[in-house]
């Protein structure tokens, strides 16, 4: 038995929702924005902390290399270029020293 046309008009048509509504999308974007705002200060602080620790480790490496130079040559190095020439520093380390404007006095603590 087929339903009458009148019966079809009374029942609302059921349709399946195949996409997100605009409101659902706005809520998701708002949640993501809040999470980013909560996380970003912590990430920034972690980056600064990591940079500081890397700089401290680099200074310790330079101090060690200066001491090795002194031990091997019975004198302090005149500059970092001399240490690079004698293979106590790499070209990459020398570039980093120049970029950060580090002096021998910074490394040895001399004034």
Annotate the chain with DSSP letters as a single string: -PPPHHHHHHSPPP----S--HHHHHHHHHHHHHHHHHHHHHHHHHHHHHHHHHHHHHHHHHHHHHHHHHHHHSS--S-HHHHHHTTSS-HHHHHHHHHHT--HHHHH---
For the segment 98-102, the average pLDDT, to the nearest whole number, is 94
Of residues 10 and 66, more confidence is placed in 66
Query: Would you kindly state where each structural domain of the chain is located, as residue ranges?
Result: 34-108
Q: Does residue 5 carry a pLDDT above 60?
A: no
**pTM beyond 0.85:** no
Give CA angle at 92 (89, 96), nearest 5°.
Answer: 95
Q: Does residue 68 carry a pLDDT above 60?
A: yes
């Amino acid at each position: 038995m087929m339903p009458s046309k009148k019966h079809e008009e009374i029942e609302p048509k059921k349709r399946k929702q195949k996409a997100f509504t605009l409101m659902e999308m706005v809520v998701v974007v708002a949640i993501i924005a809040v999470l980013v705002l909560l996380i970003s200060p912590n990430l920034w602080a972690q980056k600064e902390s990591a940079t500081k620790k890397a700089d401290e480790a680099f200074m310790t490496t330079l101090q060690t290399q200066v001491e090795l130079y002194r031990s091997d040559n019975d004198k302090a190095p005149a500059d970092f270029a001399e240490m690079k020439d004698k293979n106590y520093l790499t070209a990459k380390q020398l570039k980093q020293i120049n970029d950060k404007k580090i002096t021998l006095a910074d490394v040895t603590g001399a004034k």
